[in-house]
Structure 1
């Protein structure tokens, strides 16, 4: 596989997953305003901190308000991590390699991007933010579901899926870090907030089915980090990332040794999570666990760039 093709496939997976994650978080945080004791500004600042760049936001806006935050995180084409930019980046990468993936995927992503680009902030706020972000989640789910349904299980598919699962792992870690910041600021972890966190990843029902009696920071973290059967847990994401790389290993040539190291790193992180006992995830240890996972995710992304992508090109978004 050519470097440029591998890089495009990897970032299609990462950007589409990142966009869906943003839509989920914005939607849930948006409705948390009703449960907040303090002013709305605290909620909007927390949303920017969880998804975007606080310093970049404050360079453009003097205060944290609904309209400015929604525009910044969703439709601001000058903000590198906004939802519309993530979709645009995925579309641009897919346009470069349209012959490597089913044409239905291009049609879906291109049409979705054109719709999103035509939206404005007044439209989002004037109709229903919930319906708007639900449509975004459904559009991205249609893209991913179509890829799962019809894409040939070849190196191109494995490369795209490896990017998607690595992004998912990092997103969950960052989400849990934002929860820790919230608990540090407020001195407690509210029931409503933790329930919203679970709903943001579609895991509330799955969490309840496990029979966990207490909805606590530690229980939610244990579920999102180490639950092997939940598709959006860090453990599951790292396992899927590793599995897709193993399918690439047989055909690897010059990147074979580098690929082996990436697989070992991912498997070690997954194994470490598998060995964690419930008492190991507590208020004193959780921050260190998350910091190490964040470092591991970054190392995996950089190692992928060295093994597959063109030298001298940007490796992070």
Structure 2
């Protein structure tokens, strides 16, 4: 596998996951904003902070409004984290390595991108934002489902999955940091906001099925960090990332210092999460836990780049 192929596969996985995460969060925020604490503008400020860059938004718009936030987070081609840009980046990376993956994946993602690129804010607001974001989620889920169904489980698949699970871990940590900041600003946790966080990751039903009676900052954070069976928890994401890196090493039938270091780092992070207890995720300790996890995610991304993406040589997988 050439470096350029490894890099494109990794970022294909990351951007596809990022786009789905953003669509989920925007959709849930949109429909819970009337119940959330604070003004409508304050709710949009929170979601811009969770997904995008508040300073960039404030440079373009005088206030946080529905139309402005929807355009900024969804359809603005000048914003790196806008939904349309994430999908475009995923498409561009897939285009570079089309020969490594089934052609059906390209046909699906390319068609989805062309549809999304033609959307505009007036149509989104007129026709139903919920329907629009529902279609976005369905399109990205179809891409992932097709990949699961027909992609060969070789090094290319494992590299793409590495990107997906690392992005998922990073997204949940950022989401919890945003939730923590919002709770601090409001002087306590908002029930509607916590509900939005759980629904944005599709975890509300799972949360209730586990018999967790309270809906507060500590319980939601514990669920999204430690719940091993839930596929969008940080623990699950890091464990899956570790297993995919091991699979890359196994498919190459040899090891290397870079790969072994990534596996050790991921294993250490997963193990440390496994040893955490409910009392370790309290209001006065969670910030440190999240900062450590954010640093781990960043280090894993840097280690992947150093091991696989150095220009001018082939990677060992």
Quote the Cα distance in structure 2 between the aligned partners of 1:3 and 1:40.
46
Question: What's the TM-score, normalizing by structure 1?
Answer: 0.96
Partner of 2:54: 54
Residue 250 of structure 1 and its aligned partner are, at CA, apart by: 2.9
**SS in structure 1 opposite 2:231?**
coil
**Residues 146-197 of structure 1 deviation map (CA, whole Å, 9 limit, x = unaligned):** 0001100000000000000000000000000011011011111122221111
Does the Cα contact within 8 Å between 1:255 and 1:308 map onto a contact in 2? no
When structure 1 is superposed on structure 2, of 181-190 and 153-162 the one drifting more is 181-190
d(CA) in 1 for partners of 2:153 and 2:69?
A: 40
2:146 equivalent to 1:146: yes
Q: RMSD in angstroms over aligned alpha carbons?
A: 1.3
C-alpha displacement of 1:37: 4.2
* 1:78-117 Cα deviation digits (max 9, x unpaired): 1111000000000001011101000110011000000000
With the length of structure 2 as denominator, give the TM-score of the two structures.
Answer: 0.96
Given that residues 154 and 251 in structure 2 are in contact (C-alpha distance below 8 angstroms), is that contact kept between their aligned partners in structure 1?
no
Partners of 2:254 and 2:78 in 1: CA distance: 38
Aligned to 1:185: 185
Residue of structure 2 equivalent to 1:63: 63
**Distance in structure 1 (CA, Å) of the matches to 2:212 and 2:239:** 24
Question: Which residues in structure 2 correspond to 1:53-202 (within 5 Å)?
Answer: 53-202=53-202
Aligned to 1:214: 214
Q: Given that residues 37 and 192 in structure 2 are in contact (C-alpha distance below 8 angstroms), is that contact kept between their aligned partners in structure 1?
A: no
Name 2:315's counterpart in structure 1.
none
Q: In structure 2, what is the Cα distance between the partners aligned to 1:5 and 1:98?
A: 10
Distance 2:38 2:211 in 1: 33
Q: Provide structure 1 residue ranges, at least 5 long, that are not aligned to the other structure.
A: 313-317
Structure with more contact order per residue of length (Cα contacts < 8 Å, sep ≥ 6)? 2
Q: Distance in 2 between matches of 1:157 and 1:305?
A: 17
Contact 2:41 2:65 in 1 (8 A): yes
Equivalents in 1 of 2:80, 2:37: separation in Å? 32
1:64-84 deviation line (CA, Å, top 9, x unaligned)? 111111000000011111000
How far apart are residue 254 of structure 1 and its match? 9.5
